[in-house]
């Protein structure tokens, strides 16, 4: 569908970036960053030009998940050179601050930092820029939606009620901000034992599918809770890169193919 023409004051596009897709969650720890990293790597493996902005200022985890480190360079003192790994161009708040340093920022600082990351990083030509948001419904979500043309948001939740209640609030906020909802992803859907393959529904099962139906948004997919997903994330090479033929990687790839 044709993109709305950007107005002078309304949401702006990012130079060279075709589409901006945000990944959101109501609660922290539901796997939003894991899903962002795996989707970005899966898109890159398909040959798409992908950027990943880690905007989770409170707990930036993309440098670790994508295996990058070091302070990004700024040769001209105005723009920032992003880092690159697994075919993904990436930038993170975590690279601007030290990993052990907690970020205690106020709204206006967060907004400034986000705008800087979007506009001053040399993203180059990208088919899609994935923005890994902080959890919840705060300043970063508002600024991103109001200052930039966000083509869609993916909402990640586990099947538990406590996570679903917050996911619903997130969807409500993005609807108010007029950001199209791409759909929901159920993470930690089923636990698959890495030893015997036995399946167990640790956090329940199907809760996100039911919620997606109730909210009239698509269910994009279900990602199992599997040890390999956690181990590969921690090692800096997501499962879609390290074990592309596993069924876990396939669950991510299926979602990426339709994005
Ligand atoms: P969030 O970004 O929502 O805070 P993370 O992506 O950082 O959540 O995930 C929290 C923790 O759970 C991480 O250690 C991650 O490796 C692990 N994790 C996330 N999804 C899965 C999964 N499907 N299977 C196994 N571990 C997972």
Residue with tokens 């075709």: 18
**Residue nearest atom 13 in ligand 1 by C-alpha distance:** 230
Residue nearest to atom 26 of ligand 1 (CA): 230
pTM: 0.94
pLDDT tens digits along 194-239: 888 888 888 888 899 999 999 999 999 999 999 999 999 999 999 9
- The overall longest dimension of the chain from CA atoms, in Å, is 58
Pocket test for ligand 1, best of 26, 29, 66, 166 (most atoms within 8 A of CB): 29
CB 23 within 8 A of CB 183: no
In which band, very low, low, confident or very high, does the pLDDT at 61 lie, cut at 50, 70 and 90? very high
Is residue 9 scored above 90 in pLDDT?
A: no
Mean pLDDT throughout 254-259? 96
- pLDDT at residue 121, as a whole number: 95
Give me the pLDDT at residue 107, please: 78
Q: What is the pLDDT of residue 3?
A: 64
Q: What is the mean pLDDT of the chain?
A: 92
Is the CB of residue 163 less than 8 Å from the CB of residue 26?
yes
pLDDT at 62: 96
Cβ–ligand 1 distance for 27 under 6 Å, the answer: no
Which residue's CA is the nearest one to ligand 1's atom 15?
230
pLDDT of residue 6: 57
The pLDDT, as a whole number, for residue 104 is 72
Q: What is the pLDDT of residues 165-195, one digit of tens each?
A: 999 999 999 999 999 999 999 999 888 888 8
Backbone angles phi, psi at 20, to 5 degrees: -115, 120
Phi, psi at 146, each rounded to 5°:
-90, -25
**Domains, in order of start, for the chain:** 17-257 (3.40.50.300)
Residue 206 pLDDT: 86
- What is the token pair recorded at 208? 């996100």
Q: Tell me how crowded residue 119 is: count the other CB atoms within 10 A of its CB.
A: 14
* Ligand 1 pocket mutation, candidates 233, 237, 239, 246, criterion most atoms within 8 A of CB: 233
- Interval 66-84 mean pLDDT: 92
Q: Which atom of ligand 1 is nearest to the CA of 187?
A: 23
What residues pair up with 129 in beta bridges, in sequence order? 20, 51
């Amino acid at each position: 569908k044709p993109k709305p023409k950007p107005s002078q004051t309304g949401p702006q596009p990012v130079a060279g970036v075709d589409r901006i897709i945000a990944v959101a969650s109501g609660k922290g720890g539901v796997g939003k960053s894991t899903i962002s990293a795996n989707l970005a790597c899966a898109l890159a493996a398909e040959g798409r030009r992908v950027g990943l902005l880690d905007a989770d200022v409170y707990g930036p985890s993309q440098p670790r998940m994508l295996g990058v480190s070091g302070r990004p360079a700024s040769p001209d003192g105005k723009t920032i050179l992003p880092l690159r790994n697994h075919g993904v161009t990436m930038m993170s708040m975590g690279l601007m601050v030290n990993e052990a340093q907690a970020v205690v920022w106020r709204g206006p600082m967060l907004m400034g930092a986000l705008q800087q990351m979007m506009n001053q990083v040399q993203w180059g030509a990208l088919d899609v820029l994935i923005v890994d948001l902080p959890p919840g419904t705060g300043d970063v979500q508002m600024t991103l939606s109001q200052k930039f043309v966000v083509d869609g948001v993916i909402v990640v939740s586990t099947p538990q009620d406590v996570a679903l209640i917050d996911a619903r609030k997130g969807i409500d906020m993005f609807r108010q901000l007029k950001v199209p909802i791409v759909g929901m992803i159920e993470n930690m859907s089923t636990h698959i034992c890495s030893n015997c393959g036995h399946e167990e529904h640790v956090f329940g099962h199907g809760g996100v599918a039911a919620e997606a139906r109730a909210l009239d948004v698509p269910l994009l997919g279900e990602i199992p809770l599997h040890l390999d997903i956690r181990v590969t994330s921690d090692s800096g090479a997501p499962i879609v890169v390290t074990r592309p033929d596993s069924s876990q990687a396939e669950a991510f790839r299926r979602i990426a193919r339709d994005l």
